[in-house]
Amino acid sequence: MTDTALLNWTLNNVLSLLVIMTRVGPLVFLMPIIGSTSVPTPVKALFSLVLALILVPIVHVSPDTFPSSPFGYLVFVGSEIVFGATLAFLVRMVLSATDIAGQMVSISMGMGMAGVMDPQSGTQVSLIGNLWNIIAILIFLAINGHHLFIRALVESFTWVQPGSIHIADATFRGIVSAVQHMFVLAIQIMAPAAVALFFGHVAMGIIAKTVPQMPVIIVAMPMNIAIGFICVGLSMSYFLPLMIKNFDKMGVELFQLAKGMGG
């Protein structure tokens, strides 16, 4: 009798683990930092398994929610992937703003062709964008932003039952608002350096007209690079509170978006 009860307990917990893994896995693989292409897939899978094992005694998931048919399981997994991708998309928009701002500043500095490989996305990005992106990630980790994901993940089992995601108009409006805010944040990040570079270009244009003998092209390039790096360095005191403010706002929107998908 004891062996039967132990066997039932084990099977129920295995089914609960599979249900939790279906939600934890997509979120871990799609979230920033640990979900980047530079992190090996076995490490992500192991982290997902460990996190799911920790959540088994914490969250209450009924084994009956696990689909019995193959088609039902595909729909179940698809809905959980959409849920994880939606939450990860919100944070990626904040970090993508640094790439957009860095690309625009690099072009103004004359360093548009100089790029480095971004380990987060696996694509080539500008030097300034990569610098801002790394600092933004460090700020995100310093304020325990990654804890927001874990907290939202744990509480999402209360708001959204596994396999029962509800996409409403508010969800689409939240996604559109996140994309809109990404461009606004990019302008805010690049504003100090972009304004200084703009006035630098205007000054060199005036000099080119008043002193035609001066080789403006030769002088302008190192001057723009110097102005760009100086302004980027001076704007770090402005960059820090700006990113903290936006990460705090992202945390509020993250929970609102997760609650909204609960129907």
234-237's contacts with Cβ under 8 Å and 24+ in sequence apart are 234/192, 235/192, 235/193, 236/135
**Residue spans per domain, the chain:** 2-260
pTM of the model: 0.78
- Structure tokens given for 121: 């996305």
> pLDDT digits over 206-236, tens only?
887 887 777 777 777 788 888 888 888 888 8
> pLDDT digits over 87-140, tens only?
778 878 888 888 888 888 888 877 766 655 555 555 666 778 888 888 888 888
- Structure tokens given for 196: 């200084």
8 A C-beta contact, residue 82 and residue 245: no
End-to-end CA distance of the chain: 42
8 A C-beta contact, residue 246 and residue 94: yes
8 A C-beta contact, residue 135 and residue 104: no
